[in-house]
Amino acid sequence: MIVEPDTPVETEAANQQRVEAIVARGPGGAFALAGVALAVVMLIWFAFYFLVFVARGGA
C-alpha cells in the first residue's frame, strides 16, 4: 500500500534551494568521520608498535 504525504509536492525550485542550502554547509560530517577513523587507525598502529616491536626490544 502506498501512503502519500499530506504535504503538497515540492516544486523543482524548492528542491533546488534545499540542495543548495545543504551543499553550502559543507562536508563537515565527512571530515569528522574521516578524523575519527584516522584516530582509531593511529591508536591501533601505536598499540601494535609498542606492544609488539618495543616489547621485543627491536626499536
Cell of residue 7, nine digits? 504535504
CA–CA gap between residue 44 and residue 41 (Å, rounded): 5
| Dihedral in degrees, nearest 10, Cα atoms 8, 13, 14, 19 | 130
Region of residue 54 (left: phi > 0; alpha: psi -120 to 50; beta: else): alpha
pTM of the model: 0.58
* Confidence band for 57, pLDDT divided at 50, 70 and 90: confident
- pLDDT of 4-51, one tens digit each? 565 555 688 888 888 899 889 889 999 999 999 999 999 999 999 999
- In the prediction, which pLDDT does 45 show? 96
> What pLDDT score was predicted for residue 14?
84
Q: Give the whole-angstrom CA distance, residue 58 versus residue 43.
A: 20
